[in-house]
Amino acid sequence: MEIYLVGGAVRDKLLNYPSKDRDYVVVGSSVDEMLQQGFEQVGKDFPVFLHPDTKAEYALARTERKIGGGYKGFEVHASPEVTLEEDLLRRDLTINAMAQRADELIDPYGGKVDLEARILRHVSPHFTEDPLRILRVARFAARYAHLGFSVAPETMKLMQEMVSSGELALLTAERVWQEISRSLGEQSPDIFFEVLRQCDALAVILPELDVLFGVPQPAKHHPEIDTGIHTMMVLRQAAKLSDSAVVRFAALVHDLGKGLTKADNWPSHHGHEEMGLTALKTVATRLRIPNEFVDLAEKVMKYHTHCHRAFELKAATLLKVLEALGAFRQPQKLTSFLLACEADARGRKGFENKDYPQADWIKQAYFAANEVDPKEFVKRGLVGKKIGDAIHKRRLEVIQQLKHARAD
């Protein structure tokens, strides 16, 4: 039995990049032998075990043979005869096909060279057998873009051919959303969607986003003109402002409605806020997106232009927005909303470092209105709906006073 550290841990160690995963491959062993050593078997499709003490994952060396469609259509062969090189050959990228034992690096497919050249390159033609790899490559590109990594031209060409074959449509909603949500947590999430667009996968995975490219906006407010480019700029700003994947997703989809407005009215997109809700619902249903993501995305989509015009809003409208956001029950929702709106305001050519005082004004109005104490109305003997009406009325008065004070 020989045990090797493999995959991401080896890659990130060579990059001097933080890594959480430590996966091992076991060569020359069997299921029975692993169980005798005290390992706990957890893999159903192939033999994967948890170490009895560290709980790290140990997998028997295996080969895979394509026998059906999608990412599940594989026949797995794990036995003591499978070599380390054969196990590494089935992996996606050369930088993920390295192994280490003590101080010895095993690198049969040139992963270290590609790592130094900052290239994401497929290991073998077997790459085409798993459509999920298209999304994984895009995610790795998003993770390491700031280090100068890019997708090898021949790998990009292969990904385009895979998309043309139609296999991408066989991926389950859960796996697609898993890769999207993971990418939103990477350092450069916009690169994930850019890579998917380059290989034509974005039109399959997120057609509602893909159609935004080429849709013009008014140059006065959007010097970058193109709605798709603006969306990527917004996502970049969101990544700078917040680590939250929920905030970043809201920033990503906030302008989906601009893909539904009439071309005859371009570059104007009147009503795109409400129109986008339909597209968002379609995406959320298709990809089974968690409610937490959908809820904030709906709020940002519907009210981001209100936020940009915060200084012009009547007190009643501002209070209505705060109530719609659920700010008085969950203040964090207001914080997340404002971050996504700020990302939208800065995600424009030449606006990247512009102040966004609207957020401070809305916070000020919220803090003042939140000081209204319900106990005051209970003491007066009000009950039920009358308490809520009284609170609303007093909050409105407070915001009106604040607006007058600001005007003075």
Binding-site residue set for ATP: 8, 11, 91, 136, 139
Bridge-based pairing of strands 57-60 and 23-27 is parallel
> What own/partner pairs with CB < 8 Å and gap ≥ 24 does 371-377 have?
371/398, 372/398
Rounded CA separation 388/368 (Å): 17
Which residue positions form the known binding site? 8, 11, 21, 23, 91, 136, 139
Placement of tokens 């692993």 in the chain:
34
CA 126 to chain centre: 27
Short-list 158, 214, 209, CA closest to 180 = 209
**Where does residue 346 fall: left (phi above 0), alpha (psi -120 to 50 degrees), or beta otherwise?**
alpha
Please say whether the beta carbons of 100 and 69 come within 8 A.
Answer: no
Residues 6+ apart with CB under 8 A from 368: 398, 399, 402
Which string of b and e fits 203-239 if b means at least 16 CB within 10 Å? Answer: ebbbebbbbbbebebeeeebebebbbbbbbbbbbbbb
Binding site residue list for Mg(2+): 21, 23
Question: How many whole angstroms from its chain centre is CA 237?
Answer: 14
Phi-psi domain of 152 (left: phi exceeds 0; alpha: psi -120 through 50; beta: other) = beta
- In three-state secondary structure terms, 4 is strand
- Name the token pair of 190: 């916009």
**What are the backbone dihedrals phi and psi of residue 45, each rounded to the nearest 5 degrees, phi first?**
-80, -25
Nearest of 123, 191, 201 to residue 160 by alpha carbon: 201
Structure tokens at 344: 């939208």
2: tokens are: 């020989």
